[in-house]
Amino acid sequence: MEATAKAHTNIALIKYWGKRDEELFLPMNNSLSITLDQFYTITSVQFCECLTADKFYLNETLATDDETKKISELLDLIRKLSGVKMFAVVDSLNKVPTAAGFASSASGFAALAAAATKAIGMDIDEQTLSTIARRGSGSACRSIYGGYVEWQKGELLDGTDSYAEQVLHEKEWDLTILSVLLEPKEKKILSREGMRRSVETSPFYQGWLETVDEDLEVAKQAINERNFEMLGEVLERNAMKMHATTLGANPPFMYWQSATFDVMEKVQELRESGFRAYFTIDAGPNVKVLCQPKDEEYVRGALMALTPVQDVYTCHPGPGISYLPHTKRKTCC
Ligand code: 2P0
């Protein structure tokens, strides 16, 4: 009863910001992302009668109780759905530069959901897999698919209609996503707390909700028409609106640092000099810059020249879930 799966992380162009049900990870709004080719998690899961508790290794090291608890919560759901009661040994390798503001939770929980459901013998389609990955971390439901992906928020109370779907295959439109690594400083407000506080206290959250569907439609039209400028403009203003909700929260908070502004200004300067480049920022200080592949070397060079920039990773649209031959590096019995 074992399986290994690989999932890539994703970057939201239209953000998931706010939950309507925290326990079931149900979002307030639809979101849209690109799955990235460079960053991924490979997870092996083995269920075995010999185990008396779940065991979780992260990058070759036995994980803390808190980290293992999150894994066990998703495994509990999978045990409940399958009717199998065994515990599992989980072995995860994360190729995600978490310091660069990429949530490893998206690729991590997508890979875990895929490997665990396969190992336990569940025969499910990708849509159902997406709803299961969502229960580990919301954005993980988008990492089941490659390319351009929309997470449908759904309407049902039980969340069975809240899953992701592919909008466009990764091979259908190439874009460059430059992930700009700034000096790592510890994130003060986790996204989970940040979205909760914005929903509950920010007067700007209503404005977010009132306009996000329109942003999503514009983004989808831009993807359909392969209109880079239209996509860039809408993803940048959507990110700015998400961050505006944090400024209006009580107490207010801000994910940006001074280096974040340096990158934002550089992107605006690049645009003024004729390069189509646009930024987006998640729940942290780091910036992702989107541009066209023909411009990626120039734009990367301009970003690397900024003093607070430590590195810039070049990414392109990447694939969805894949299953690998099982690699048994950590054994249970
Ligand atoms: C996104 N973020 O759409 C948004 C934009 C951060 C900012 O999804 O609470 O780790 O586990 O569902 O998925 C990060 O939040 O949050 C995220 P949970 P998650 O990518």
What pLDDT, in 10s, does the model give residues 276-315?
999 999 999 999 999 999 999 999 999 999 999 999 999 9
- Ligand 1 midpoint to CA 82 (Å): 27
Judged against a pLDDT cut of 90, whether residue 100 lies above it is answered with: no
pLDDT of residue 214: 98
Q: Is 315 helix (H, G, I), strand (E, B) or coil?
A: strand
The DSSP secondary structure of 217-271, one letter per residue, reads HHHHHHHHHT-HHHHHHHHHHHHHHHHHHHHTSSS------HHHHHHHHHHHHHH
| Pocket flag, ligand 1, residue 135 (CB < 6 Å) | no
Neighbour-count burial of 155, counting CB atoms closer than 10 A to its CB (0-12 exposed, 13-18 middle, 19+ buried): exposed
101-121 pLDDT, tens per residue? 666 899 999 999 999 999 999
Residues 95/24, Cβ–Cβ less than 8 Å: no
Q: Is the CB of 282 under 6 A from ligand 1?
A: yes
Q: Is 137 in the pocket of ligand 1 (CB under 6 A)?
A: yes
Position 104 scores a pLDDT of 83
Q: How many angstroms does the Cα of residue 138 sit away from the middle of ligand 1?
A: 6
Structure confidence at residue 96 as a pLDDT band (50, 70, 90): confident
pLDDT in tens, 135-189: 999 999 999 999 999 999 999 999 999 999 999 999 999 999 999 998 767 667 8
**Cut 0.85: pTM above it:** yes
pLDDT in tens, 202-248: 999 999 999 999 999 999 999 999 999 999 999 999 999 999 999 99
- How many percent of the chain have pLDDT more than 90? 91
> Which atom of ligand 1 is nearest to 192's Cα?
9
Average pLDDT in the 38-50 region? 96
Query: Rounded mean pLDDT of 59-84?
Result: 96
Cβ–ligand 1 contact at 87 (below 6 Å): no
Q: Write the residue with the smallest CA distance to atom 7 of ligand 1.
A: 282
On whether the CB atoms of residues 19 and 138 are closer than 8 A, the answer is: yes
The confidence score (pLDDT) of residue 187 equals: 64
Residue 99 in this model has a pLDDT that exceeds 70:
no
Task: Take residue 325 and report the two structure tokens written for it.
Answer: 């031959």
Q: Domains in the chain, please, with CATH?
A: 2-172 (3.30.230.10), 176-315 (3.30.70.890)
Mean pLDDT of the chain: 95
Do residues 143 and 114 touch, judged by C-beta distance below 8 A? no
12 Cβ closer than 6 Å to some ligand 1 atom:
yes
